[in-house]
Structure 1
Amino acid sequence: MAGADTSGTSASARRRVLAPLALAQFICSFAGSNMNVMINDISTDLGTTVHGVQVAITIFLLVMAALMIPGGKLTDRYGRKRCFLVGLAVYGVGALLSAAAPGLGTLIVGNSILEGIGTALLIPPVYILTTLLFTETTARVRAFGAIMAMGGVGAAAGPLIGGLITWSLGWRAAFVFQALIIAVILMLSRHIEDPLPPDPTRRFDTGGAVLSASGLVFVVMGILAADDNGWLMLGLLLLGALVLAWFLAWVRARERAGEEPLLSTNLFHSRTSNLGLVTQNIQWLLLMGVSFTVAAYLQVVRGYNAIETGVIFTAATVGLLASSLAAEPLAKRRQQRTLIMVGFAVTIAGIGVLLGMVSGSPHAWAFAPGLLLIGLGLGVMLTPSVNVVQSSFGEERQGEISGLSRSVSNLGSSLGTAVAGTILVAGLTTGAYAAAMITLAVVGLGGLLAAALLPHRPAPGGARTGHHGPG
């Protein structure tokens, strides 16, 4: 492989490469959660509703999920660093357009569409480059730990940072902040070298990309329509299922014809990877679902402003950061399966505490214990889930599996916001808040079951780049 083995590179050189990759994951995760504390400010300023802002947030997450698989595939044809830089540029334009948005439509174009497209282009290279550049097991675990920690902190700290900026400068400044971070990442990215040359001869499966994206869009749109029209919801969900079935038939037909599909069915032949993808999806569904539910409840029902809402989320940020920083030493002593199971158990317990204490107390501090537990639980399992999936395949499949992995995670984020938001906007009351949290806890039990089914010591994916750490 042309990539450098990090066992022979200096620690400072590794940090120079890792810094822009981790910062990119941070800002994309931040973008998915920081708008939660701006619900009232944006809806008032742009003359829209809570549901309108929820739609904008969900479309952003959905665009990421729908285009992440094509984005990962494009890295093989055009190169990982080039896709990373183009994605950053598109994202930056979207952030600036959002900052100047005169109405909800422009905000959706800038934030939901352009930032979503930019993220879908830049995130797969983050994970592919990390896998290819950090070839030594310990270094790769540490690198993934740093990236996932920054991603988790970005999502958990988004409400606090967004709240501070909104309170002091206004919600538009939060998008200017994103554009400035993008500029910093572009400057830091000059140290990145693509370990594999691009292959312009690789054909891109346009038909597969359209079908996969359309199917995911219809499914999430169906969930969003649940509070308006039950028949429309069922129709969209059925249409989404049919389009995704068409996509699967399309992929199989291309494989039988000897052509390269958008997503190889061989990626789903690994039981370990499949279960890891399920845990990834549910982790981000819980993180974004809890974030939206609590933020909407605090602002709409209890009347808290952006900064007050953001401060309350500090407990989740502290918990997630603490457990993410402990990911590497924990991985040396415990199996990845065990860490993921413990993470789900602690997160579900946190939802229970959050539900019980908030319903029985009018004080803001009642949110802290539950949010702290949720942060601790999510931080424990984010990195092991990524390691399980990424390391199940060799370097020749990293473009595909990285795109699939990030798509599944972002689909979880969009589903979390859509499901929780749909329940809440149906009637923002204490009862709706409880219903949303109970729904998230039940989904979390599904994640715990998937983690329990993971092999005790999953076999590596057959390539020397596979992770051979504690199973």
Structure 2
Amino acid sequence: MTTRDEPVRRPTTLRRVLIPLALAQFICSFAGSNMNVMISDISTDLGTTVQGVQVAITIFLLVMAALMIPGGKLTDKFGRKRCFTVGLVVYAVGALLSAAAPNLGVLIIGNSILEGVGTALLIPPVYILTTLLFTEITSRARAFGAISAMGGIGAATGPLIGGLITSAISWRAAFVFQALVIVVIVWLARSITDPLPADRDRPFDTGGAMLSAGGLVLVVAGILAADENAWLMVGLIATGAVVLVWFFRATRAKERAGVEALLSTALFHVRTSNLGLVTQNTQWLLLTGISFVVSAYLQVVRGYDAIETGVVFTAETAGLLVASLAAGRLAKRCAQRTLVLAGFVVVIAGIAVLLTMVRGAATAWAFVPGLLLIGLGLGVMLTPSVNIVQSAFAEHLQGEISGLSRSVSNLGSSLGAAIAGTVLVAGITATPERSYALAMIVLAAAGTVGFVAAALLPRVPADPVTPTTRPER
């Protein structure tokens, strides 16, 4: 007698399942970086500014981060496969609306809101389905590695592919491309079967979802307001912090009362996982921040078009691809902590090279060494950071930690675009070289924070937390 999920556990079928899941992570990461090379084209076509495009990019990344945990919870209530499909459809509608946008407002609705909501619905099922379908530890690690690598590759190739499409056709065609990829994913995902039934009676913490999303939005909005009004910035960030504290206090109160909350506070009781989340957040902050700063500088200051900007980023893409392909072999020879530490060192070195070689250099070749190093460093540590976090918990907690992990990573992306972008945009017209240098210094400081977090990781991984295991504090 066979069970319902036995067919999807055969190796060939599992590979077919992995393709649409990895491709979904690729297109969502691609969407977070491909707009960077369209800054000049979009601002000219829609009659907006560099800051307007920055706001659109940041809101997209922020919506993903703010709704990722609620999106993960909805998978239990409505089913992982259903949420995955609905998210894909919402994303595709947003992409098509963005392609037809007559102004910045409509672009924000299509790209920032609808694509962001779609991503928040479809990404948690990617990681939860992977956990449920790949039951063998080694195969699951490989699957997570493939998905994480596709995410990094999507973010790294976004500028190149986006630049090619924008130069050959228009920036609008890049959104049509995204919609077409979504159609392919929907078709490939037909064979995916949800191993667990949906639980319609499962409660959903609406209040917690509103508080967590509101707090994150206020904090990032405060960062975006830094170059407009210092008092507004402080007020928004402080209010956001208060709302987030309110969220965590309300969550603990619900747990004490035996009510299911949006997020289990037990996830924050494991030191290894907490440090791993910091490294994840920092990695995506660096990837998105560097991409935005270099792209804006090339287009606004150097006058490069979309394709020229995309070609420059080929160096970063090549570095990330090479490191990702070698990740499996490196994992056998080196501890995950060592790989993360080495990755941060290489990325910080790449930022230093971008600072020293680019200033005063007239040729685009000056960007290549630094971007290559950054790609190599990020490629080395993206997958180990995910494995560190996921491996800190037992199987029954994989769904929750997956949602938290994706939320923290996407929050890093939004912070990268907001912080580094704000520093650059504030003086890109009056003092472009100084603004570029300051933005890079801020990113190097963020990389240092990630390095310190990685250095504090335990040298010997602890056993996964289970109901009978006391969390390490």
Give me the TM-score of the superposition, normalised by structure 2: 0.96
Tell me the secondary structure at the aligned position of residue 197 of structure 1: coil
Distance 1:294 1:409 in 2: 21
Q: What whole-Å deviation, never above 9, does each CA across 1:305-347 have from its counterpart, x for those lacking one?
A: 0000000000000000111111111112211111111111111
- 1:467 corresponds in structure 2 to none
* Aligned match for 1:436, one of 435, 439, 444: 439
Q: Please report how far the alpha carbon of residue 360 of structure 1 lies from its aligned counterpart in structure 2 after TM superposition.
A: 4.0
Q: Mean Cα displacement is larger for which, 129-138 or 426-435?
A: 129-138
Runs ≥4 in structure 1, deviation > 4 angstroms? 2-6
Q: Is the 8 A contact 2:70 2:262 kept in 1?
A: yes
Distance 2:255 2:109 in 1: 36
User: Please, which runs of 5 or more residues in structure 1 have no aligned partner?
Assistant: 465-471
Q: Mean Cα displacement is larger for which, 137-146 or 304-313?
A: 137-146
Confirm whether residue 259 of structure 1 aligns to residue 259 of structure 2.
yes
Aligned residues: 462
Amino acid at match of 2:92: G
Distance 2:433 2:465 in 1: 51
Q: Please report how far the alpha carbon of residue 380 of structure 1 lies from its aligned counterpart in structure 2 after TM superposition.
A: 0.5
Taking structure 1 as reference, are residues 188 and 90 closer, same or farther at Cα in structure 2, changes over 3 Å only? Answer: same
- 1:54 corresponds in structure 2 to 54
Amino acid at match of 1:315: A
- 2:323 corresponds in structure 1 to 323
Within 5 A, what are the aligned runs for 1:198-237?
A: 198-237=198-237
User: Please, which runs of 5 or more residues in structure 2 have no aligned partner?
Assistant: 468-473
Within 5 A, what are the aligned runs for 1:281-300?
A: 281-300=281-300
Report the aligned-residue RMSD: 1.5
Within 5 A, what are the aligned runs for 1:450-469?
A: 450-462=453-465
Q: Is the 8 A contact 2:5 2:193 kept in 1?
A: no
- 1:412 corresponds in structure 2 to 412
Taking structure 1 as reference, are residues 213 and 155 closer, same or farther at Cα in structure 2, changes over 3 Å only? Answer: same
Within 5 A, what are the aligned runs for 1:57-456?
A: 57-428=57-428, 429-456=432-459
Distance 2:152 2:226 in 1: 29
Q: Is the 8 A contact 1:3 1:194 kept in 2?
A: no
Q: Is the 8 A contact 1:3 1:133 kept in 2?
A: no
Q: Is the 8 A contact 1:51 1:425 kept in 2?
A: yes
Q: What whole-Å deviation, never above 9, does each CA across 1:244-276 have from its counterpart, x for those lacking one?
A: 011011101101111000011101011111011
Q: Is the 8 A contact 1:316 1:375 kept in 2?
A: yes
Tell me the secondary structure at the aligned position of residue 35 of structure 1: helix
Distance 1:359 1:343 in 2: 25
Q: Please report how far the alpha carbon of residue 456 of structure 1 lies from its aligned counterpart in structure 2 after TM superposition.
A: 1.2
Q: What whole-Å deviation, never above 9, does each CA across 1:16-67 have from its counterpart, x for those lacking one?
A: 0100000000000000000000000000000000000000000000000000
Identity fraction in percent: 74
Q: What whole-Å deviation, never above 9, does each CA across 1:168-191 have from its counterpart, x for those lacking one?
A: 010000000000000000000012
Distance 2:391 2:6 in 1: 16
Q: Mean Cα displacement is larger for which, 395-404 or 274-283?
A: 395-404
Q: Please report how far the alpha carbon of residue 10 of structure 1 lies from its aligned counterpart in structure 2 after TM superposition.
A: 4.0
Amino acid at match of 1:364: A
Distance 1:463 1:178 in 2: 40
Distance 1:33 1:306 in 2: 13
Q: Is the 8 A contact 2:9 2:133 kept in 1?
A: no
Give me the TM-score of the superposition, normalised by structure 1: 0.96
Q: Please report how far the alpha carbon of residue 392 of structure 1 lies from its aligned counterpart in structure 2 after TM superposition.
A: 1.8
Amino acid at match of 1:269: H
Distance 2:31 2:82 in 1: 22
Q: Is the 8 A contact 1:148 1:324 kept in 2?
A: no
Amino acid at match of 1:178: Q
Q: What whole-Å deviation, never above 9, does each CA across 1:61-100 have from its counterpart, x for those lacking one?
A: 0000000010011111111111111100100000000000
Q: Is the 8 A contact 1:145 1:325 kept in 2?
A: no
Within 5 A, what are the aligned runs for 1:8-19?
A: 9-19=9-19
Q: Is the 8 A contact 1:319 1:373 kept in 2?
A: yes
Q: Please report how far the alpha carbon of residue 394 of structure 1 lies from its aligned counterpart in structure 2 after TM superposition.
A: 2.5
Q: Is the 8 A contact 1:3 1:132 kept in 2?
A: no
Tell me the secondary structure at the aligned position of residue 227 of structure 1: coil
- 1:27 corresponds in structure 2 to 27
Taking structure 1 as reference, are residues 359 and 86 closer, same or farther at Cα in structure 2, changes over 3 Å only? Answer: same
Q: Is the 8 A contact 1:79 1:199 kept in 2?
A: yes
Distance 2:25 2:91 in 1: 13
Q: Is the 8 A contact 1:282 1:443 kept in 2?
A: yes
Tell me the secondary structure at the aligned position of residue 359 of structure 2: helix
Q: Please report how far the alpha carbon of residue 11 of structure 1 lies from its aligned counterpart in structure 2 after TM superposition.
A: 3.4
- 2:471 corresponds in structure 1 to none
Amino acid at match of 1:453: L
Q: What whole-Å deviation, never above 9, does each CA across 1:410-465 have from its counterpart, x for those lacking one?
A: 0000000001110111111011000000110011011001011111121232469x
Q: Please report how far the alpha carbon of residue 398 of structure 1 lies from its aligned counterpart in structure 2 after TM superposition.
A: 2.4
Tell me the secondary structure at the aligned position of residue 226 of structure 2: helix
Q: Is the 8 A contact 2:9 2:134 kept in 1?
A: no
Q: Is the 8 A contact 1:92 1:178 kept in 2?
A: yes
